[in-house]
Amino acid sequence: MFVNLLALRQRIVPDRLQGRVNATARAVAVSGTPAGALLAGVLVGPLGGVRTVFLVLAGFALLNAVLAFFTPLREREPVG
């Protein structure tokens, strides 16, 4: 997946902005890890355990994938 994202970014971003765009994308991707860990830790108590938290978060990931599948971005013509 990361190879596809990087290849797409390299194709659509002008050369003079490659460094800035890639650094920003990596910073945003990495900054989500502590927030996700905190959210999972907070949810363990009220939801009754780690297994339930994983199932809830997996459900959100599945919902995200389904919604992404039906976005208008998938119908865009390829660049080039």
Please give the share of the chain, as a percent, with pLDDT higher than 90.
Answer: 22
Q: What is the pLDDT of residue 72?
A: 74
Convert the chain into a string of H (helix), E (strand) and C (coil): CHHHHHHHHHHHCCHHHHHHHHHHHHHHHHHHHHHHHHHHHHHHHHHCCHHHHHHHHHHHHHHHHHHHHCCHHHHCCCCC
Q: What is the pLDDT of residue 79?
A: 62
Q: What is the pLDDT of residue 18?
A: 92
When pLDDT is averaged across residues 4-25 and rounded to a whole number, the result is 89
Give the mean pLDDT of the chain. 83
* Residue 64 pLDDT greater than 80, yes or no: yes
Going by pLDDT thresholds of 50, 70 and 90, the confidence category of residue 47 is: confident
Cα–Cα distance between 22 and 67 in angstroms, integer? 25
